[in-house]
Chain A
Amino acid sequence: MTATDTRRPPTSSDSPPPRGERAPRVLSFSHKLSRWDLKFSPYLYISPFFILFAIVGLFPIAFTAVISFQEWDLVRNSGTFVGFDQYIWILGQPQFWTALRNTFSIFLLSSVPQLILAIFIAAMLDRNIRAKTFWRMSVLLPFVMAPVAVALIFSNMFGDNHGLVNNVLTNIGLNPIPWHKDPFWSHIAIATMVNFRWTGYNALILLAAMQAVPREYYEAATVDGANAFRQFWSITLPSLRPTLIFVIITATIGGLQIFDEPRMFDNTGEGGPAQQWLTITLYLYNIGWGEFNFGRAAALAWILFIIILLIGLINLFITRRLVRDEGGRGEITPRRRKRVQR
């Protein structure tokens, strides 16, 4: 096909050729093929992921929605339609609200200290230190451990009577902490397990982002007389914005789905006699796999899905506002444009 060929059609449309002489619009088959190739191949190449995602991702989500409107019998694989009854039942359960409270409490107790600590560690690792790789690998080490193993070890440490922590406390003359009785302390214990595992991981991601900040900024700031803290606050943090958003959103999703740690916190895995550390996912598990009531469990799964969606959006909004682009090298925000114009 030459360049002139391709340009011809518009001209021909301007002055239609006489009847019978019209240029054939139907291209040859191989022509067609190559056109389809151009059009559909990209989709074909990426389709394996989407087909797989449809099978193991979308279908279960949709099917969960179907089940959530039914009284479902797992063994007989059938159910009767009950409308929104399952949702109403879940929302009417005091356990659900306790679980929601616990989930948020554990989420906040883990995410906030975890992020602050991760930024701090990353900032330390970003400096010129000896044996860099060694430190970086050590930070990631807890992440390699299986969550259940972590939970088992920590649950042992947080035993009420024979746990390591309480033994130390009583040995130095303090009162033992009621880890398995008081909601707050059980949340602290569980948050500790989460922090232990995830801080290093987040620190490494943030470190990677910090390494990408051009060194010239720091040099210029040093010349301007800014101290390390000021540099961190005005250069590092704003540059981390996109990464922070990512880390916060993944931490939110992970935090709201916390399961392994509370499940392993005692031997029954039911979240405590008064639901002290019952989380949403644990509640979901107990309804589904404890009582085999999959209608209710599916309804709860959808409620959790909606909660996570909402929190994710709120998070995105807040993070965007909190970590402004000041001092960064990104595009000029309206506010800065104004300042520049002045």
Chain B
Amino acid sequence: MNSRAFRRGAVAVAAFSASAIVLAGCAGSSGDTPSSDPNEEITLTLATFNNFGYTDELLQEYMDENPNVTIVHNKAAESGDARANYFQKLGKEGLADIEAVEIDWFAEAMQYSDLLAEVPESAKGRWLDWKEAGATDGDGRLVGFGTDIGPQAICYRADLFEAAGLASTPDEVATLFDGDWSNFFDVADQYKTATGKPMIDAANSVLQGIVNQIEYTYTEPDGTVIATENPEIEDAYNLVVERAVPNSAYSGQWSDDWNASMANGEFAAMLCPGWMLGVISGNAPDVTGWEVADVFPNGGANWGGSYLTVPANGANVDAALALADWLTAPEQQAKTFVNAGQFPSAIEAQSDPAITDSTNEYFNNAPTGEIFAARSEAITVTPFKDANYFKYHDALQNAVNRVFDGLEDQTTSWNTWVAEVEAF
């Protein structure tokens, strides 16, 4: 569910070499012609990826309430596979009754919003405004059920901060980082002076953080491309290259080296959305000292999150809408947070005791529910992302990578990006 998921490669390779087989081997939704009989036996398929927290127990609860429904849950290994599958079959046959869509490629799916069923009126208003706005198309149809969001906080190694002579308790660190991005980089400079090591994990995660605070990044709603002329983007690029690159251990995230480095203290802090906590504790299970501070440079930012969609040509659209409605209702969102740490996008769920009282043992019993609720409130800007967003951003990340790797200097790399973007 996190963006740019870790191992996009392996299965994609398989998908490429066997795309014909994939086309043939679709797990079509069973059930015959749509019928109005509410007690008819139906089987609903639910397709997700990574871990949405939809455990068998949770789904059984729904099946107990609706004895005529059987739910089959198919999990793709990660979001990239789900994306390829989704666009291959959308508008044709073979998609599940409910398909999960990640925010990274949700804009692409929104191009085909007419092929998706509309969210029932009763569910509207359940989600945070920006979450709901993101799933509403030009005709005002809401076609996605929001699941989780990714409000970002800062994770840091208390022991390394202390060794560098910096503040180390979560409250002190929250004060330390309170401010804009240059304050964040000032602290990184201090850390580097004290230890000689970079403080930040990856330059591109900083770019991600900054860009997610810009409303219009590469394109405007009317389709105008502003990527290369947008001063905010150029500033973000320059800021990252000048200040984040020297202070980062890696250029980008998710490489083998990056995964391995989480345990050995190569860096001391990273920007982390709720779902990142699991990545850290998973990569460095034996390390003590990781903590999470309720702060983010320059306010708040969201990274990641997903939606559930119901393809309009499915066999059991009404039943599927009812299930998606139930799965994304506040009560169930609170449960999935407990199950898998997915921070809810439903407003009511955020004040659910299951969330406000939750703590994370690995992060020194930090009140993570409370922290991410506060981080969610701090989000003021909703970046506009159209279908091409990902392409532009990916190319800009590569521009930062080139500088980080010493392949090109700041200006050359920017110009390469401009040339690349203009060819789109």
Contacts and interface: CB of A to CB of B under 8 A. Distances in A.
A291 B112 CA distance: 15
Interface in A37-63: 56, 60
B10 A152 contact: yes
Interface in B250-288: 251-252, 254-257, 260-261
Contacts of A259: 13, 16
Contacts of B401: 273-274
A96 to B, nearest CB: 11
Contacts of B416: 274
Contact of B405 (A94, A181, A264): A181
A269 B257 contact: no
Interface stretch (B1-9, B210-218, B222-230, B328-336): B1-9
B256 A77 contact: no
Contacts of B340: none
B260 A273 contact: no
B124 interface: no
Contact of A181 (B92, B391, B407): B407
B257 A160 contact: yes
B334 to A, nearest CB: 33
Most buried by B among A92, A180, A268: A268
B51 to A, nearest CB: 19
A304 to B, nearest CB: 14
Contacts of A289: 12, 15-16, 84
Interface in B24-39: none
Contact of B9 (A92, A93, A264, A291): A264
A285 interface: yes
A269 B12 CA distance: 10
Nearest to B397: A273
B26 to A, nearest CB: 15
B20 A56 contact: yes
A241 to B, nearest CB: 32
A162 B10 CA distance: 21
Contacts, number: 96
Contact of B6 (A181, A267, A292): A267
A77 B261 CA distance: 45
Contacts of A60: 20
A289 B391 CA distance: 12
A92 B255 contact: no
A294 to B, nearest CB: 10
B12 A273 contact: no
B398 interface: yes
A266 B9 CA distance: 8
Interface in B382-402: 391, 394, 397-399, 401-402
A216 to B, nearest CB: 46
B238 to A, nearest CB: 17
A260 B13 contact: yes
Contacts of A279: none
Contacts of B252: 268
A75 B84 CA distance: 11
Interface in A165-202: 178, 180-181
A189 B408 CA distance: 22
A75 B115 contact: yes
Contact of A291 (B13, B90, B91, B391): B391
Contacts of A325: none
Contacts of B254: 267-268
A274 B420 CA distance: 11
* Secondary structure call for the B interface: helix
Contact of A74 (B88, B257, B407): B88
Which of A163, A263, A267 has the most B CB atoms < 10 Å from its CB? A267
Contacts of A94: 419
A93 B423 contact: yes
B405 A273 contact: yes
A159 B405 contact: no
A258 B177 CA distance: 47
Contacts of B398: 270, 273-274
Nearest to A275: B398
A122 B215 CA distance: 64
Nearest to A284: B16
A12 interface: no
Given A259-B16, A260-B13, A267 B7 contact: yes
B140 interface: no
Given A93-B423, A159-B257, A274-B408, A292 B9 contact: no
A93 B419 CA distance: 10
B255 A267 contact: yes
Contacts of B6: 267
A268 B8 contact: yes
A156 to B, nearest CB: 6
A148 interface: yes
A219 to B, nearest CB: 48
Interface in A114-171: 147-148, 152, 155-156, 159-163
Most buried by A among B8, B252, B257, B397: B257
A332 B374 CA distance: 88
A162 B256 contact: yes
A76 B114 CA distance: 11
A273 B251 contact: yes
Interface of A: 56, 60, 74-77, 89, 92-95, 147-148, 152, 155-156, 159-163, 178, 180-181, 259-260, 263-264, 266-270, 273-274, 276, 285, 289, 291-292
Interface of B: 4, 6-10, 12-16, 20, 84, 87-88, 90-92, 108, 111-112, 115, 251-252, 254-257, 260-261, 391, 394, 397-399, 401-402, 405-408, 416, 419-420, 423
24 contacts: A60-B20, A74-B87, A74-B88, A76-B91, A77-B91, A94-B419, A148-B9, A148-B13, A152-B10, A156-B256, A162-B256, A181-B406, A181-B407, A263-B12, A264-B10, A266-B255, A267-B256, A268-B254, A270-B394, A273-B405, A274-B407, A276-B407, A289-B12, A292-B108
Given A156-B256, A273-B405, 15 more contacts: A75-B112, A76-B91, A148-B10, A155-B256, A181-B405, A181-B406, A267-B9, A270-B398, A273-B399, A273-B401, A273-B402, A274-B407, A274-B408, A274-B416, A285-B16
Closest A-B pairs by Cβ, 9 of them: A273-B401, A273-B398, A181-B405, A267-B254, A161-B257, A269-B9, A274-B407, A273-B402, A162-B260
